Structure 1
Amino acid sequence: MLFLFRNTENQRGYANQGSGEPPVLLNREIPRYLTERNFRQALTQPFSASWSNVGIRAILQRIRETQNISIILDRRIDPSRKLKIDLQNQTLEQGLAQIADLIQARCIIVGSNIFIGPDAEVSKLKTLLQLKSDALHELADSQNTLKSRVIQLSRNHTFHFQDLDKPAEILQNITNSYQIKIDNEQLVPHDLWSNFSLVSVNATESLSLILIQFDLTYEWAGEATGIRLAAVPDKVLIKRTYPLPGKSIDSVTAQIKEQFPDLVLTSSGKLLSVQAAMDVHEQIEQLLNPKKTVHPVRAGGGKTVPLNRRKFTLRVKKVPVLAIMQKLEQSGIEFEYDKQELVEADINLLQLIDVAVVDAEADEFFDALFSSFKLDYKMQGVKITLTPQK
């Protein structure tokens, strides 16, 4: 998909012409934004556009409408700030990242949404999302009776909001959908927001996307039926342990310390534990396992190499299998399954797993990936079809 749009002070453009802001509307038509695989594919499509002296909100609204994707602008960013930008022959994701960079912000994908916010807050959001997801699954592991509740909270919902909706009401809409009670909702200040959508998000994602904009987070209460709001700490860290087979602990520690001198590292045998933000963990993982990131492999004529002709290397600890699947989809692998069928079979793709394979054949790799689940998989070309075991 190629999007060409010109908007300058001397040309007719979007909404009110020239540099005008989109009008306030209280009854916008509900958009039909792309979700999941279609959303991720849209981000890789060619994108060209140009604006001069146009507000950020108008630019993002135009991209939403033409590309059919959900974009959320953090409330701390001035939406009327004017930009001059020329994007040529980039992917849509690269174009959005460049727009964010111009306003000293950063993009992150959450569910089927692009969230644009201040860099430090986006870093905290990434870590908080993982911490809250981990906490939820640890709760289920400690109390077997809560597994069905965790599955309920892991289901994706889509929410649409109009101009001038209040964040307290938006939060209430989300908590009602998941049957969650907020213990101290008075911490959410009064505000009026522009229209936006939360597309294909679970409870953790939807709550965090709203609360982070007020420097708030939450703790699960009761049997995951309530939350208590709390201020986001100055530092949001998560502990990860890395196996180091065949590597020297001292040399690896020295490498990491050179890049991140303030990190606290602890080791035990061939295991290295690190407490850091998710951004740092991603860089450490890449440093330790440069082959981990799965890139598209193309054969002659531009065709994707079939799975049975690929080799896979992956080392991860306590990562949702769905996150790994989403990463694999970026390399052209397709996963086909019936969400409701998996839910009814008590199969939760947000379950955390450990995988350690090196230069593995496809069968070995996917056996390791799905060994914790009562799932059958079938490979055909680049497609994996998942079905519950009978």
Structure 2
Amino acid sequence: MLKVPAACEQSQAAGALHTARERSAFAAFAVAWAAAMSAAPLAAADPPVREAAPMAVARTASEFRKRLEQPLVVRVEDVELGPLLRGVARGRGIVLHLDRRVDTSRIVNWDARGLPLLDSLNAQLSREHLAARSVGATIVVGPRPAIDRLRTVVAQRTDDLRDGPGLTATRRAEFLQPRAWNWEEAASPSAVLERWARDRRLTIEGLDEVAYDVWDAGELAAMSFIEALSVVLFQFDQTFEWTAAGGIRVVPLPESASVERKLTAASGRDDVLALAREAAPAADIELNGRQLVVRGLVEEIEAIERMLNPGRAAPVAPATPLKDRRFTLTARQVTVREALATLVEQGLEIDYDPEALETAGFDLDRRFDLRVQRATAAELFRAICSPVQLTFEIDGSTVRIPAPTK
């Protein structure tokens, strides 16, 4: 056996480390370049471009959707996947979560030329048997075919919650409230899940099914408790179910997943069933009058929705601006907490932190009579917030109720 001198070993190791650093540095430069460019094509002789400053992170679903529609232009060779993806996310102001099964040191070549961000990522990642999915205001990158089930599993758990184990409307809405979820450097996923459940006043069983792991510090943006829990457990081939006592239990992830949704077809479309099956060949589809009953993945249902509504620009249509909506509500002796929770459960995007508001001295359990007739959003939230002197602001389809900072 040929023995390499120690000095030579050190030289080779230093060279390998230098090469890795070069690749990471080039990946960071390349994605900053992409963030600074629009849809203009890149030529081989393009001059160097200074690194772009990171954008402020999109922390609401509406802002996140806008950024997903922006085109991505990037061309790189022989760079590490992890730094490349993190740089793209940082340049776009989007939170990215890499599944624990993704090899972030993998060397890749990318040539993305102007597709919307999520489509562009998937076009590049498909060569590595990976895919990107949006959950909340976060892009999750994971291995295929496993990640194809992620959003459907989230939808299943959300349906389970609404069908509920005897939870009150307030508790159900609490589990659907979007917020940021964080963990510190060197955190173990099981400890993170236990803390999240404890903060929600829940017991969680079966955490021994979550393999021991150590994670870098991370964040999931604008996810509900259901979504955040599902994203973490999914990486260990686990999901959860509700117990009779109103707690949660970790259980194995089924090999397949589907949800059922009913979609209305336009009148006079005799070919709608054939078109739906063409849009989603693997889905189970039936036509009942003008209604399509679809059982399949969330992405398959969205494909049929796009077929039924070809003018829709994105898979998920932006919410109607609140300024264009009118509200009629009547409730006697309801608490501020219950009123906000009910609106969240009914689909309004309300950005608020109940714990921070209570810490700041606001009594969310104060009762009042709520009665509004065809009220604007401003009138509705003034009626809800004024009993405890909360302030609010309306931005498009989002209502923000800030907690005062000391």
Structure-2-length-normalised TM-score: 0.63
Aligned residue runs from structure 1 range 130-209, under 5 A: 130-139=155-164, 143=166, 146-209=168-231
**Local SS of the residue matching 2:84:** helix
Q: What letter is aligned with 2:145?
A: A
Aligned residue runs from structure 1 range 1-390, under 5 A: 16-19=21-24, 33-36=57-60, 37-45=62-70, 47-88=72-113, 91-139=116-164, 143=166, 146-222=168-244, 224=246, 226-244=247-265, 246-247=267-268, 251-257=271-277, 263-291=283-311, 293-294=312-313, 327-328=317-318, 334-335=321-322, 344-351=339-346, 376-377=375-376
Paired residues of 1:42 and 1:92 also in contact (CA < 8 A) = yes
Paired residues of 2:283 and 2:297 also in contact (CA < 8 A) = no
Paired residues of 1:21 and 1:58 also in contact (CA < 8 A) = no
Q: Any unmatched runs of 5+ in structure 2?
A: 1-17, 28-54, 326-334, 349-371, 379-394, 401-406
Paired residues of 2:283 and 2:300 also in contact (CA < 8 A) = no
Paired residues of 2:177 and 2:344 also in contact (CA < 8 A) = no
Structure-1-length-normalised TM-score: 0.65
| Inter-CA distance 271–341: structure 2 relative to 1 (3 Å threshold) | same
Post-superposition offset of 1:16: 3.3
Equivalents in 1 of 2:160, 2:373: separation in Å? Answer: 23
* CA deviation string 1:114-153 (max 9, x = no partner): 111223223211111111112212228xx5x611111211
**Local SS of the residue matching 2:101:** coil
**Local SS of the residue matching 2:293:** strand
Post-superposition offset of 1:60: 2.4
Q: Report percent identity of matched pairs.
A: 22
**Local SS of the residue matching 1:17:** helix
Q: What letter is aligned with 2:304?
A: I
Equivalents in 2 of 1:45, 1:14: separation in Å? Answer: 32
Paired residues of 1:123 and 1:278 also in contact (CA < 8 A) = no
Post-superposition offset of 1:178: 1.9
| Inter-CA distance 263–345: structure 2 relative to 1 (3 Å threshold) | closer
| Inter-CA distance 289–90: structure 2 relative to 1 (3 Å threshold) | closer
**Local SS of the residue matching 2:168:** helix
The answer for the alignment partner of 2:383 in structure 1 is: none
Paired residues of 1:237 and 1:277 also in contact (CA < 8 A) = yes
Paired residues of 2:169 and 2:342 also in contact (CA < 8 A) = no
Paired residues of 1:49 and 1:86 also in contact (CA < 8 A) = yes
Equivalents in 2 of 1:271, 1:254: separation in Å? Answer: 14
Larger radius of gyration: 2
* CA deviation string 1:170-216 (max 9, x = no partner): 22232223222211111101122233211121111100110111111
Q: Over aligned residue pairs, what C-alpha RMSD do you find? A: 4.0
Equivalents in 1 of 2:87, 2:150: separation in Å? Answer: 26
Aligned residues: 307
Equivalents in 2 of 1:148, 1:280: separation in Å? Answer: 32
Q: Any unmatched runs of 5+ in structure 1?
A: 1-12, 23-30, 296-322, 354-372
**Local SS of the residue matching 1:58:** helix
| Inter-CA distance 14–278: structure 2 relative to 1 (3 Å threshold) | farther
Equivalents in 1 of 2:192, 2:66: separation in Å? Answer: 29
